[in-house]
């Protein structure tokens, strides 16, 4: 097949569900070959189905399971990608964890898990990219609108996403001479299981009311932004955070 990403190879973490699955499908529709990562072995069948759906779009795709809070697993995933396809061009980091508790109720384990998944994983993926990603590659890290607003009970989640913005900006300067861009997408509340599993009907209504439309975002609303940042033409867009949140710009109390 032909498309703007034909011949490129993309890794999408958390690529079997929610935003990750939509991102993988969009990249495949644009011609990229895919490596779909999934964390839990219980998602093996889901991953196999996702691979089949991607291959039906006319590209090559494989799945890879691993706990990306372990640096060795990140290295293994990247090396498996290059071994299979010969190169690696695009990384979309969608893996994440929401822990919603008052700070005083947050355990050491909650804190460590939040930072391991939300901050450590993208950090060490970027370290792998420094020497292993092809020139003119694209790195897209998912953060959250709450890096720019303040919300009670989100300290562990938002706090573990904030560093990713700084990692992104610093790393864009380090890898930029090779033509690799590094950016963040900061979605607002989305109609996904990732969001619903952390919220109550009351908080969902509250957060919906913060947007211009009075509704949650749909995951498909984020896909065009990912495609834009991954496109070969967007070489001049780097070290940025793009908010996709329906105008959710007011402070949240």
Does the residue 137 lie in any domain?
A: yes
Q: What pLDDT is recorded for position 251?
A: 47
**pLDDT of 202 over the 90 cut:** no
Residue 198 resides in a domain: no
pLDDT of residue 147: 86
Residue 208 domain-assigned? no
Asked, for residue 106, whether it belongs to a domain, the answer is: yes
Considering its fold, how many domains does the chain have in total?
Answer: 1
Residue 250 lies in a domain: no
CA dihedral 169, 170, 175, 177 (to 10 degrees): 80
Among 110-114, 122-126, 149-153, 168-172, the least confident range: 149-153
At 153 the pLDDT is 87
**Can you tell me the distance from the alpha carbon of 71 to that of 147, in angstroms, rounded to the nearest whole number?**
25
In a domain, 172, yes or no: yes
In this predicted structure, the answer to whether residue 193 has a pLDDT above a threshold of 70 is no
Residue ranges in the chain assigned as alpha helix (H): 18-29, 44-55, 71-85, 108-115, 121-132, 155-175, 193-196, 201-208, 223-230
Q: pLDDT digits over 132-148, tens only?
A: 999 999 999 999 988 88
Asked if residue 136 is part of any domain, the answer here is: yes
Here the CATH number for the domain that contains residue 135 is 3.40.50.720
pLDDT at position 199 over 80: no
Is there a domain that residue 46 lies in?
Answer: yes
pTM for the whole thing?
0.92
Reduce the DSSP state of residue 84 to 3 states and report it.
helix
What's the domain range around 178? Answer: 9-192+219-244
- Please report the pLDDT score of residue 194 as a whole number: 61
């Amino acid at each position: 097949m032909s498309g703007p990403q034909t011949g490129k190879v993309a890794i999408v973490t958390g690529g079997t569900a929610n935003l990750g699955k939509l991102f993988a499908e969009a990249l495949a529709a644009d011609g990229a070959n895919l490596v779909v990562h999934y964390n839990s072995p219980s998602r093996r069948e889901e991953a196999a189905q996702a691979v089949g759906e991607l291959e039906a779009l006319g590209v090559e795709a494989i799945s890879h399971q691993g706990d990306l809070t372990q640096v060795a697993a990140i290295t293994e995933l990247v090396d498996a990608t290059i071994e299979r396809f010969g190169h690696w061009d695009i990384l979309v980091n969608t893996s994440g964890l929401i822990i919603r508790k008052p700070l005083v109720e947050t355990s050491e384990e909650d804190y460590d898990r939040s930072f391991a998944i939300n901050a450590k994983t993208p950090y060490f993926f970027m370290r792998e990219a420094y020497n292993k990603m092809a020139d003119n590659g694209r790195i897209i890290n998912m953060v959250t609108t709450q890096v720019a607003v303040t919300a009670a009970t989100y300290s562990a989640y938002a706090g573990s996403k904030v560093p990713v913005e700084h990692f992104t900006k610093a790393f864009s300067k380090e890898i930029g001479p090779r033509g690799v861009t590094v950016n963040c997408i900061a979605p607002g509340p989305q109609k996904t299981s990732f969001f619903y599993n952390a919220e109550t009907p009351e908080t969902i209504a509250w957060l919906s009311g913060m947007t211009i439309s009075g509704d949650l975002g749909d995951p498909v609303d984020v896909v065009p932004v990912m495609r834009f940042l991954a496109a070969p033409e967007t070489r001049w867009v780097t070290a940025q955070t793009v908010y996709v949140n329906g105008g959710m710009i007011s402070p949240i109390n």
